[in-house]
Amino acid sequence: MITLNPPPQLILSDLNDSLNGKEINIETMINRREFIKKTSMGAAAISVAGLTQSGINHSESGIKPVGGRVIDAHMHVTPGKVKKALQVMDDNFIRYGVIIASIAGSDPDQYVGDKAFYEISEAIKPYKNRLALHYTYDWTLAETDPDFFNKAPDMLEKAVKAGAIALKNLKQLGLVARDHEGKLIAIDDPRLFPIWERAEKLGIPVAFHTGDPVAFFNPWNPKNERWEELELHPEWSFSDRSKYPPLETLFAQANNVYKKFRKIQFVSVHVGGYSENLKEVSRWLDEIPNLSVDTAARIGELGKHPASEGYDFFNKYQDRIMFGTDMAYWEGCDVQGAGPCKDFTLDEDRNFYNIHWRYLQTKDKQFDHPTPIQGKWKIDGIGLQTAALKKIYWDNAYRFYKLNRVGVA
């Protein structure tokens, strides 16, 4: 069976874009969940109640997304949760949702690959004008099936014929995914080129989740900003250079692929996996015209930069940034981008989305960000202009995923 990689960004910042190989067992998963409950429920509960320091309940503050319609380009929906997802979408102006990866099941027993893809695909069939799905490889097959690299392009084509609008690569690629000989598979490994070539031929975009919070790649010591989490969960650290490549290597490998396959539109999720360093992400966007990013589960990190820098980044790349939240509807419970898995009320979900509108649209100061598990700082709104907001909320994802094809207007 597939088990999960417990680094918090799997469950926390990216929930389960990060399904992993074998060394992690159910016990660690349970420990992780306990940890999340103990450390985050308090903060999350305060945040989801919508109470800022000033006591304003911004779930009632009347902020609406400019333009009145939004594509959430980074969601996770499992088959049993389609109705709930649609309800929350209806309540928050999310006219269309892009399910960013084929992940199904209930935490901690989630699974990816064909089984997940075809189950979700079936469940969303009646809602083609509301939801679309990425195909996602189960990279553990590369280790267990010597013929995986030959089969992979046809697996993708079959999924696209069944309705996949794009391909999503989980962060395991480059970091932990191994081939039949047990060697790490680099993101720019030529054995993967036939997959990218097939994506190009099929005319679908390709999404990558590369890297993880910088802190998890840094030495594990008291100076590490996530020292407490890492002390409790050393398995979340990728700092062991005998096991894991450095973050810079992963980024360089991914960029090699983007540059080699110029006809493919790529999205590097979570602000390119490097929201800590907007200068570097800007450099990539300048160098690679076929690259976009999304905002999923990174409003907190984005808000750590001065509001003027956040504004400049969004304003300059307003044609290349897609709005996404990482809102996850797992079979057992939901995750608002990062943090505890629980059954959120419609009010709590409305508040989660409202914080996004508030960050992007207002110049409000010092309010809670949407993912308190990532840190307890406050953020300032960046107050983007209407034209930029409409692109980020709608136009960019609409064009990127060619949603005219699926009848979305």
Compute the least distance from the CB of residue 333 to Zn ion, in Å. Answer: 16
User: What six digits make up the tokens of 26?
Assistant: 């159910």
SS3 27: helix
Pick from 113, 105, 56, 51: nearest CA to 78: 105
Of 17 and 138, CB closest to Zn ion: 17
Residues in the chain: 409
Instruction: Return the DSSP state at 216.
Output: G
Compute the least distance from the CB of residue 296 to Zn ion, in Å. Answer: 6
Instruction: Return the DSSP state at 22.
Output: S
Kindly indicate which of the ranges 7-15, 47-55, 178-186, 298-306 contains the residues binding Zn ion, using the contact rule CB under 5 A: 7-15
Please give the residues from 169 up to 228 whose contact with Zn ion meets the rule CB under 5 A.
Answer: none
Compute the least distance from the CB of residue 76 to Zn ion, in Å. Answer: 6
Of 153 and 213, CB closest to Zn ion: 213
Please give the residues from 316 up to 335 whose contact with Zn ion meets the rule CB under 5 A.
Answer: 326
Compute the least distance from the CB of residue 10 to Zn ion, in Å. Answer: 9
Compute the least distance from the CB of residue 112 to Zn ion, in Å. Answer: 12
E-strand spans in 230-339?
266-268, 291-294, 321-322, 327-329, 334-336
Of 14 and 138, CB closest to Zn ion: 14
Of 301 and 326, CB closest to Zn ion: 326
Q: Are strands 327-329 and 166-169 parallel, antiparallel or unpaired?
A: unpaired
Report the b/e string of 354-380 with b at 16+ CB within 10 A. bbbbbbbbbebeebbbbbbbbbeeebb
302 CA to centre of own chain:
14
Concatenate the DSSP letters of all residues of 158-186 into one string.
HHHHTT--EEEE-THHHHT-B-TTS-B--
Number of residues that bind Zn ion (CB under 5 A): 3
Chain position whose Cβ is nearest to Zn ion: 17
Please give the residues from 10 up to 69 whose contact with Zn ion meets the rule CB under 5 A.
Answer: 14, 17
Compute the least distance from the CB of residue 14 to Zn ion, in Å. Answer: 4
Please give the residues from 275 up to 304 whose contact with Zn ion meets the rule CB under 5 A.
Answer: none
Distance CA 310, CA 111 (A): 35
Kindly indicate which of the ranges 8-16, 39-47, 299-307, 354-362 contains the residues binding Zn ion, using the contact rule CB under 5 A: 8-16
Of 98 and 307, CB closest to Zn ion: 98
| Contacting residues toward Zn ion, per CB under 5 A | 14, 17, 326
